A and B are shown apart, each in its own frame.
Chain A
Amino acid sequence: MAAAEPLLLEARALTVRAGPAIACRTLDLRIAPGTCWGLLGRNGAGKSTLLHTLAGLRAPSTGAVRWRGRDLRTLGRRAAAREIGLVPQGDDIPFPLTVRDAALAGRHPHLGRWQHETAEDHARVGEALRAVALDGRENRPLDTLSGGERRRLALATLLAQDPVVALCDEPTNHLDPGQQLAMMRLLRHRFATPDRALLVVLHDAGLALRCCSHLLLVFGDGRTVAGPAATLADPALLGELYGHPMALVEGDGLRGFVPR
């Protein structure tokens, strides 16, 4: 469908309830190609629930999520998984699994029921593991990985899945500051490209301001504010968002936000 402006993922009058919280009420969100969105909000505001709804894994309370102009829920799970990737939080996996097995899961939506992974699939998985510096550890069992390695493996699975839009739930969790920045750079490099887009749940407003072109602030009572990152980098607004006064600190040309 030709729209006035090319859109990938779009929320129309979307209301998402998450337990006692309301992640958003009649939210209109337009995720255009080339954009990188940071999703900020306090704990329990419904950020993950909103993310899952945008990925089409959960029915909205009201309103709709649209993919390239059509209702996402009419797309079919497998087709949707080739377009939209989700990196969820947490990774408790009760069965013995190797790094390669986990990354290979990303190829699932590209394979038919009777197909086996081809040499190309294995090549993509190998490339994805190299991109997150987990190459050479293909046969390591998951339970021997550190928290940071697990986050990088989740990213490798996403790279192997190769969707058009990536939705990442706190991808920088468990990462040291250098790794956080490396993770965001890699995500931007792969998804903030002219024909793709990225939406990342973050807790560090400074990192969001530094890496994202747009921000979506989720207050938890249904209120949301969306817009270009630079216009929303306001300590007063962030203080209201987190329910705690925030201070802007600057140095070496960088800006960060810390709780007062």
Chain B
Amino acid sequence: MREADRGRTRRHALLGLILAAAGAIATGLALGTVAIPPDRLLGLLFAPDRSTESIILWELRLPRVLAAFAVGGALALAGALVQVLLRNPLGDPYVLGVSGGASTAVLGALLFGLPAALHPAAAFAGAIGSTALVFALGRRGGALAVDRLLLTGVVVAAGWAAVVSFVLSLSPPAQLPGMLFFLMGDLADATTPWPPALALAAGLAVALPFARDLNLLALGDLRASALGVATAPLHGLVYFLSALLTAVAVSTAGGVGFVGLVAPHLARLAGGSDHRWVLPGAALLGGTLLTLADTAARIAIAPRQLPVGVLTALLGVPAFLLLLHGRR
């Protein structure tokens, strides 16, 4: 393949992903306990009226579907960044201890009866606190040490898991379902897409100018700095960007697993490891995957709803294995 062909292929792939994302969002808006046919959906999007369908669309589905897309995109972008930072394709955003810190904080808030409106704030505080702890402990001689960071993150996450189990075993049974849904990842309480959407947009805007530097960072610190990358500041940027994206995602939707791990891989399998492609590609794929998963979670056993985290893996695993298998 010539270079010009490869550029064109990637542009086509991005266009395809944008169309797929739009399709997923449309599907999410159309399907539910009350199905809205496509022509009616278009009409209501451009001209809301006072019908039940219009209210369902504008006040329930649109915020939730967009929140699902933004959370999925934010987790995927965070995953792509963490994988470069750790130089480990198994890295996912929760490796930095983000989800454990957030879960512990929210469970504490639930246990102490804090109002639901404060839960996202508690999750965000827990996530950032845990991230800062891992960052402080994962350094050696002032510089980030990848092996140490990974190990610190895994161990801190295990610590939070123990605290979570402890809190769960103490909690009144009536509160358990809510806690479990948060732990598994659930978008039922997502009332606004703005925090994850803004985080995703800002994250892409900040990370994309450094995409070529990230390509080099993936080759190792020594190679990257020999080729002109100031690695220490880039480490810090990547670390805090991925932590922020994950914290916002977790505070919106709880601990949705698998998207952050698998979406960057899907992007790499589909179009190579150039981060000028991987970052937007993974974000679009992650958003699409979580939107479809959340739609399925809403309608699979309607009128009851599943937590979306249950379905991300159920959909993501076969998708990933198919692509991996098709490659070899």
Contact = CB atoms under 8 A, between A and B. Distances in A.
A78 B213 CA distance: 11
B226 A86 contact: yes
A163 to B, nearest CB: 10
A239 interface: no
A109 B227 contact: yes
A122 interface: yes
A222 to B, nearest CB: 22
B218 A82 contact: no
B225 interface: yes
B225 A77 contact: yes
Interface string A59-95: 0000000000000000001111110011010001111
Range of interface residues on chain B? Answer: 20 to 34
A113 B226 contact: no
A139 interface: yes
A109 B220 CA distance: 16
Contacts of B215: 101, 105, 108
A29 B163 CA distance: 58
Interface string B203-222: 00000011011011011101
A109 to B, nearest CB: 4
For B210, B223, B227, B274, which residue has the most chain A Cβ atoms within 10 angstroms?
Answer: B227
29 contacts: A57-B222, A57-B225, A57-B226, A78-B228, A78-B229, A80-B228, A81-B226, A86-B226, A88-B222, A88-B226, A92-B220, A93-B219, A93-B220, A94-B87, A95-B273, A96-B268, A96-B269, A97-B272, A101-B273, A105-B219, A108-B213, A108-B215, A108-B216, A108-B227, A108-B228, A108-B229, A109-B227, A113-B209, A161-B227
- Please name the 3 residue pairs, one residue from A and one from B, whose CB atoms are nearest each other, closest first: A81-B228, A109-B228, A78-B228
Contacts of A85: 226
B1 interface: yes
B272 A105 contact: no
A97 B227 contact: no
A70 to B, nearest CB: 18
B56 interface: no
Interface of B: 1, 3, 83, 87-89, 209-210, 212-213, 215-216, 218-220, 222-223, 225-230, 268-269, 272-274
A71 B228 CA distance: 17
A101 to B, nearest CB: 7
Contacts of B219: 93, 102, 105
Interface string A175-198: 000000000000000000000000
Given A95-B89, A100-B3, A114-B209, A82 B228 contact: yes
A52 interface: yes
Range of interface residues on chain A? Answer: 20 to 34
For A77, A79, A92, which residue has the most chain B Cβ atoms within 10 angstroms?
Answer: A77
B226 A55 contact: yes
Contacts of B1: 139
Nearest to B7: A116
Contacts of B88: 94
Contact of A94 (B89, B227, B230, B272): B89
B111 to A, nearest CB: 41
A77 B229 contact: yes
B226 A94 contact: no
Nearest to A98: B272
A114 B228 CA distance: 15
A224 B165 CA distance: 60
Contacts of A33: none
B272 to A, nearest CB: 7
A101 B274 contact: yes
